[in-house]
């Protein structure tokens, strides 16, 4: 089974990432190494390398590998970057970011998902991630700025507290839109202003919270 997963992972990198336009060598290397099967429960492990989202509990999903790769590539990470991730979910995207950045700060609203992600990353020996359980639409709870921000759930518009926590010259990537299909947007902070660039259409679960969607 171990061999099958390893073969499937290499096929995923070749056919679902590189062949579809992912060129960043760091992203391809890290995603060729991280075992996606570790981030889903048993009934879904055999589908871990199909290029689609999978259920992770609490009505949430682990994102499609191609979209994880695309969002990570758009962040243009280096080993000096401190990254804020909103929506820890299974922790798979967190693990990918941690392999390319100096430190990752990740927020999840559902405690069971955050706790499960903490256990998986801990088991993998990943020690450059800080977890927080709460409403990520309000940003990291203490006054801090980040070189990169990634929102892994759909927002009606970019949450103001997150633009405030992005450094000058920093990049943020997020699915933005109110319908079932959103636009994947890359934001760059220049002279205190946010410049947005649309990459493609995407489908994400909603980000609920004070600066996200209303749950009522
Ligand atoms: N990137 C994750 C992965 O690799 O498994 C998948 C993220 S999933 C598509 C979106 C996540 O955002 C869900 O786990 C959901 O609970 C979380 N979420 C939704 N609203 C949130 C909020 N206000 N603050 C933090 N997390 C939130």
Q: Please report, in tens digits, the pLDDT of each residue of the chain (216 residues total).
A: 778 999 999 999 999 999 999 999 999 999 999 999 999 999 999 999 999 999 999 999 999 999 999 999 999 999 999 999 999 999 999 999 999 999 999 999 999 999 999 999 999 999 999 999 999 999 999 999 999 999 999 999 999 999 999 999 999 999 999 999 999 999 999 999 999 999 999 999 999 999 999 987
In a domain, 152, yes or no: yes
pLDDT value for 112: 98
90 lines ligand 1 (CB under 6 A): yes
Query: Could you tell me if 156 and 209 are in contact, meaning their C-beta atoms sit under 8 angstroms apart?
Result: no
- 107 lies in which domain range? 63-202
Using the mean position of ligand 1's atoms as its centre, give its distance from the Cα of residue 140 in Å.
15
In a domain, 58, yes or no: no
The whole model's pTM is what? 0.97
The two tokens of residue 74 are 């758009």
Element (H, E) at 197: strand 193-202
pLDDT value for 76: 98
Element (H, E) at 53: none
Cα distances from 66 to residues 39, 120, 144, in angstroms, run 16, 21, 30
In a domain, 159, yes or no: yes
Query: Could you tell me if 102 and 108 are in contact, meaning their C-beta atoms sit under 8 angstroms apart?
Result: no
60 lines ligand 1 (CB under 6 A): yes
63 flagged as catalytic: yes
User: How many domains does one find in the chain?
Assistant: 1
In a domain, 210, yes or no: no
In a domain, 24, yes or no: no
In a domain, 97, yes or no: yes
Closest C-alpha to 28, from 68, 58, 78: 68
The two most distant CA atoms of the chain are separated, in Å, by 52
Sort strands 193-202 and 60-62 into parallel, antiparallel or unpaired: unpaired
In a domain, 18, yes or no: no
> In ligand 1, which atom is closest to the CA atom of 113?
14
* 3-state SS, residue 214: coil
pLDDT value for 123: 97
CATH number of the domain that residue 93 is part of: 3.40.50.150
69 lines ligand 1 (CB under 6 A): no
4 backbone φψ class: left, alpha, beta (φ>0; ψ -120 to 50): alpha
Q: Is the Cα dihedral 184, 17, 170, 166 positive or negative?
A: positive
49 lines ligand 1 (CB under 6 A): no
In a domain, 7, yes or no: no
Q: What is the CA radius of gyration of the chain?
A: 16
């Amino acid at each position: 089974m171990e061999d099958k997963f390893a073969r499937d992972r290499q096929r995923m990198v070749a056919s679902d990432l590189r062949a579809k336009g992912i060129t960043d060598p760091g992203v391809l290397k890290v995603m060729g190494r991280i075992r996606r099967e570790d981030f889903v429960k048993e009934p879904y492990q055999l589908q871990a390398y199909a290029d689609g989202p999978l259920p992770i509990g609490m009505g949430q999903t682990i994102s499609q590998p191609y979209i994880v790769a695309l969002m990570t590539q758009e962040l243009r990470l280096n080993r000096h970057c401190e990254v804020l991730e909103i929506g820890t979910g299974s922790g798979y995207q967190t693990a990918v970011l941690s392999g390319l950045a100096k430190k990752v700060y990740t927020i999840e609203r559902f405690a069971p998902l955050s706790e499960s992600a903490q256990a998986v990353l801990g088991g993998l020996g990943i020690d450059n991630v800080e977890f927080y359980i709460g409403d990520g639409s309000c940003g990291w709870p203490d006054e801090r700025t980040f070189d990169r921000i990634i929102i892994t759930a759909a927002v009606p518009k970019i949450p103001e507290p997150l633009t405030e926590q992005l450094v000058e010259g920093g990049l943020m990537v997020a699915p933005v839109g109110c319908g079932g299909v959103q636009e994947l947007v890359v934001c760059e902070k220049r002279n205190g202003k946010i410049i947005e660039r649309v990459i493609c259409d995407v489908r994400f679960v909603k980000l609920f919270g004070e600066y996200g969607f209303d749950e009522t």
